[in-house]
Structure 1
Amino acid sequence: MLKKISTIIVSTIIAGAIIAFLLSRVWEELLITAKEADPRYLLVALLICLLAWCLRGARYRYILNRLSVVVGFVFSTACIFVSQTANLIIPARLGDLIRLLILKHEKKTTYTLGFSSVITERVFDILTIALIGAIALPFVVGQEPWFSMLIGFVLLLGFIFFIILIYSGRFSSDNQILAKVIEILSQIRCVSQTPRALIYLILSSVIIWIIDCIVCMMVAMMFGEPVSFMVVVLAIVIGNLVKAVPITPGGIGTYELALALTFELAGVSAGTAVLIAIIDHLIKNLVTLVGGAVSIYYFGDWTVSLLKRAFSGDIKKEIYDRN
């Protein structure tokens, strides 16, 4: 238990240290820039962010329905809200496992099926991010070479994953772990095997992430910063690819650092770049927390104990033991 708590404390300290470092570099400039902000764009950004969450809920509902789990739009959206809220306080993205338990409790699904639904969502998210990043790269001046390498590496991994996915149906195994992997791949294939399903998942994912970029664009406009949309797209892409490495809970700190660096390389002043990065992530996290609180009320009190088990790290062992 002490080891689990220390892991959370260390990751939280890292997140706080990164934010403190960013703020200390530009504190005076940051205060001047903040005073000149137009708060009207903040409200627009919040509403657009909420729209993105609605689309995420609709996409997750589609994924579950393809896996023969019939749920409503509110249920699917609430599932994501609770798990993402947990990810804001729990390192290593263990909050994603909460969805498995919600589906098990409410819809009597297997943990394997729940895991397949989460993996499907994550694969399309990461590949979509890398794809729109690759499109934005040629339009952005002053980028780092490692941006291209990172995006290219993710696309390569995605290509390899889909090759494995296509041919995985030909294999079987008596090994328990390999059999579960093959089962998960089979379920993911079931979600995306038809052209219509593939088109829906790709288009919905692209729209979700374009809207996510528009939220950041609104934040930039709030400070009167003339940033091109392609720069914003690239910043969001790099920020989310860096955030995908679970160093801190919810990517807090690492996300802001990646965004600020990208904006600065594109010519945005350091103070404004830091403010855009922090407020963009703050908006998205606040919407997540409010949505999470409402979703916990929607599911009932039992989800509170679920979050406590997730925080203590017991969920991972619980799923493994029962699966």
Structure 2
Amino acid sequence: MKTELQGQLSGLKAMKRLKYISAFVSLLLIVAFIVLSMQALDVTYLTKAFYLVFTSPLLLLTLTICYTIAFFLRAIAWKLYVNHKITFKSALIALFYSLFLNHLIPVKVGDVLRVGIIKKANKRLRLVEAIESVIMMRVLDMLTLITFSAIGVYLLIGWISFQWLYVVIGVGLLLSIGGLFYYRNRRYFLFDKLKEIKEKVMTKHFLAIAFLVGLSWVFEGAVVFLVASILNESISFMESIWINSMTVGGQVFQVTPGGIATYETVMSASLAMVGVPLKEAYTIAFTSHGYKFFYSYLVGAICIIVMPISIRQIREWIRERGEQKNV
């Protein structure tokens, strides 16, 4: 009992340290964004960029199709992971609700919403399976982003050798798995589910799931590519995938609705690394993020009509999840 209590206290201390580090990095990114804005913000150019994007029906349609396909692929992958115990519709709505909420409030609670929605919509799915599936899909997302980012650093920037590329991917894999284990709660999760997770990972479906998740981030990278193209900035599609992966990966430090500031800072820096001038890089970042805000509110409004969820229900899910973590 004493050893278990000491382990829990050590875990709590480690979590607090991680929160402090994360808060510090978030603050640095916000400061960097302020400095960046002072140097690169050109209101006239930014207004022109928004005008070009939001008054071009063909571009908006293409952006929306590519971005929507990304979520369709994630919904299919999620459905495969839980062995078709959830419907495609409920998975897609859960993803869209999560996107909407994460662009509406500073704190990321979209994952809690995902669990609540698919559990509510699919009665034969157990709560433990819902929680596990959301976390595993998040881990797959992060592994994909880490892999794309690492490969991009090697291929596009040339900063690391192949040996270091393997190290980066390996460390990312270990961190993701470690985070998955740390995310457990004693009452519902993980050690008693380890065998089941292992069985899922070892099945042929998992390769298809991983492929679908990877392809989804390729389609999301198209948003950066298309926005850059309309502004006559020549970046390759491969570069756009890398830039998007770096940017979304940086959103783990989100402390503002939709990750405002962190998104623009990381994307501007990534664009600058592939040769885009700073003013143009900042404008591309701001414009592409503006489109994602527009998209998230649009699909959020549609979800509210299709599957209305009360604020009270969301609060209950958040409170229940908090109680589960403390058990």
TM-score, normalisation: structure 1: 0.76
- What CA distance in whole angstroms lies between the structure 2 residues aligned with 1:249 and 1:154? 29
- What CA distance in whole angstroms lies between the structure 2 residues aligned with 1:285 and 1:128? 23
* 2:212 is the alignment partner of 1:219: no
Question: Of residues 113, 127, 131 in structure 1, which corresponds to 2:129?
Answer: 113
* 2:77 is the alignment partner of 1:77: no
* 2:26 is the alignment partner of 1:26: no
What is the CA distance between 1:265 and its match in structure 2? 2.4
- What CA distance in whole angstroms lies between the structure 1 residues aligned with 2:72 and 2:271? 28
Which letter does structure 1 place at the counterpart of 2:132? Answer: S
Question: Of residues 188, 199, 206 in structure 1, which corresponds to 2:207?
Answer: 199
What is the CA distance between 1:184 and its match in structure 2? 4.3
Listed as ranges, the matches of 1:212-291 within 5 Å are 212-291=220-299
- What CA distance in whole angstroms lies between the structure 1 residues aligned with 2:322 and 2:126? 16
Question: Of residues 55, 60, 68 in structure 1, which corresponds to 2:73?
Answer: 55
- What CA distance in whole angstroms lies between the structure 1 residues aligned with 2:52 and 2:105? 34
Preserved contact between residue 84 and residue 288 of structure 1 (Cα < 8 Å): yes
Which letter does structure 1 place at the counterpart of 2:209? Answer: L
- What CA distance in whole angstroms lies between the structure 2 residues aligned with 1:229 and 1:120? 28
What is the CA distance between 1:277 and its match in structure 2? 0.9
Deviations 1:58-107 (A, max 9, x none): 2222223x2xx622211110011112222223444222111222233333
- What CA distance in whole angstroms lies between the structure 1 residues aligned with 2:165 and 2:260? 20
TM-score, normalisation: structure 2: 0.75
- What CA distance in whole angstroms lies between the structure 2 residues aligned with 1:53 and 1:268? 28
1:151–1:309 distance in 2 versus 1, CA, 3 Å:
farther
Partner SS for 2:104: coil
Partner SS for 2:136: helix
* 2:110 is the alignment partner of 1:101: no
What is the CA distance between 1:33 and its match in structure 2? 6.3
Deviations 1:235-272 (A, max 9, x none): 21211221123433432221211000111122211111
1:179–1:301 distance in 2 versus 1, CA, 3 Å:
closer
Preserved contact between residue 94 and residue 316 of structure 1 (Cα < 8 Å): no
* 2:317 is the alignment partner of 1:317: no
Among all aligned residue pairs of Structure 1 and Structure 2, give the percentage whose two residues are the same amino acid: 21
How many residue pairs are counted as aligned between the two chains? 293
Partner SS for 1:93: coil
Preserved contact between residue 81 and residue 205 of structure 2 (Cα < 8 Å): no
Deviations 1:106-157 (A, max 9, x none): 334443221101111111111111222222223324x778xx9899556413
Match of 1:188 in 2: 197
Match of 1:46 in 2: 64
Which letter does structure 2 place at the counterpart of 1:131? Answer: T
RMSD over aligned CA atoms reads 3.6
1:316–1:149 distance in 2 versus 1, CA, 3 Å:
farther
What is the CA distance between 1:273 and its match in structure 2? 0.3
- What CA distance in whole angstroms lies between the structure 1 residues aligned with 2:179 and 2:39? 46
Which letter does structure 2 place at the counterpart of 1:47? Answer: I
Deviations 1:145-186 (A, max 9, x none): 8xx989955641314656999xx9xxxxxx972872213434
Deviations 1:284-312 (A, max 9, x none): 2322222222223222344x4333557xx
What is the CA distance between 1:320 and its match in structure 2? 4.4
Match of 1:122 in 2: 138
Unpaired runs of at least 5, structure 2: 1-22
Preserved contact between residue 254 and residue 262 of structure 2 (Cα < 8 Å): no
